[in-house]
């Protein structure tokens, strides 16, 4: 003869323990989800920043490759090249303008904003300006912020210290890297430009024999 088992419900204490454990599981799961979501958002943001930087570097490569040793007059009226470069900015003429895709006078500037930097491109189309002098005031009609929240960026220039040094070819002398390169002072333009933006480094070769541009300047009756 069988004995029927008695059904037994949860006691209040057991129910409270179960609810507490369930709450802990839910809290732990929610915390893990937010941690994962936060990490995903950060990694996605980093990826998007790197993708945008890579895109801008590609655009700037074309701009820098298009730089020409454009001849103007200095304050004494002598022919010189329109090129002024420092660690944080570059002023020159390019055949591959970023704004119009045509020849532009451009200025590339690294501006500090609190703990970060932004890279700004300013330009005016050559068809809208008659560029004749290093002393000329330029009204850049187009401004574009290329990158924000950069950790850092800088320019370096590889070339001869001066036209005299290059012409004399003194044994042991050769081009080197400079933080600043003003063509008006050196008499020529650099051979290479290096632009470092966070983890990206861009090298661009310029005209290595810019002096022939002064010949064209002379033949054009500008002297």
d(CA 202, CA 57): 7
Q: How confident is the model at residue 38 (pLDDT cuts 50, 70, 90)?
A: low
- pLDDT above 70: percentage of residues in the chain: 83
Task: Give residue 164's Cα distance to chain centre.
Answer: 32
pLDDT at res. 9: 60
Residues 82-106 as b or e (16 or more Cβ within 10 Å = b): bbbbbebebbbbbbbbbbeeebbbb
Burial of 184 (0-12, 13-18, 19+ CB in 10 A): middle
Q: Each residue of 114-130: pLDDT tens digit? A: 888 999 999 999 999 99
Residue 197 near residue 218, CB atoms below 8 Å: no
Residue-wise DSSP of the chain: ---PPPP----HHHHHHHHHHHHHHHHHHHHHHHHHHHHHHHHHHHHHHHHHHHHHHHHHHHHHHTEE--EEE-TTS-EEE--EE-SSEEEEEESS-TTTSS-EEEEEEEEEETTEEEEEEEEEEGGG----BTT------EEEEEEEEES-EEEEEEE-S-HHHHHHT-TT---EEES-EEHHHHSS--SEEEEEETTEEEEEE--S-THHHHHHHHHTT--
pLDDT at residue 83, as a whole number: 98
Can you give the pLDDT at residue 87? 96
**pLDDT tens digits along 172-183:** 889 999 999 999
Residue 171 φ/ψ region, left for φ over 0, alpha for ψ in the -120 to 50 degree band, beta for the rest: beta
pLDDT score at 27: 72
Strand partners, 177: 158
For residue 10, pLDDT over 90 is answered with no
Name the pLDDT band for 80 (thresholds 50, 70, 90).
very high
Are the C-beta atoms of 188 and 208 separated by less than 8 Å? no
Write phi, then psi, for 35 (nearest 5 degrees).
Answer: -65, -45
Q: Between vectors from CA 25 to CA 21 and to CA 27, what angle results, nearest 5°?
A: 115
């Amino acid at each position: 003869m069988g004995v029927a088992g008695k059904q037994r419900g949860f006691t209040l204490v057991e129910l409270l323990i179960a609810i507490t454990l369930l709450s802990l599981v839910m809290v732990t799961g929610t915390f893990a989800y937010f941690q994962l979501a936060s990490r995903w958002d950060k990694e996605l943001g980093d990826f998007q920043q790197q993708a945008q930087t890579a895109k801008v570097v590609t655009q700037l490569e074309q701009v820098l490759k298009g730089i020409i040793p454009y001849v103007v007059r200095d304050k004494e009226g002598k022919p010189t090249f329109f090129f002024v470069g420092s660690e944080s900015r570059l002023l020159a003429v390019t055949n591959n303008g970023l704004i119009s895709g045509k020849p532009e006078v451009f200025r590339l500037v690294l501006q500090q904003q609190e703990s970060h930097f932004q890279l700004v491109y300013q330009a005016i189309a050559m068809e809208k300006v008659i560029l004749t002098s290093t002393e000329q005031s330029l009204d850049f009609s187009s401004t574009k912020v290329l990158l924000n929240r950069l950790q850092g960026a800088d320019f370096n220039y590889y070339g001869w210290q001066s036209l005299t040094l290059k012409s004399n070819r003194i044994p042991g002398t050769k081009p080197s890297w400079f933080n600043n390169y003003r063509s008006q002072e050196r008499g020529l333009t650099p051979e290479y430009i290096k632009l470092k933006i966070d983890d990206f480094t861009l090298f661009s070769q310029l005209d290595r024999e810019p002096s022939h541009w002064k010949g064209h300047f002379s033949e054009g009756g500008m002297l």
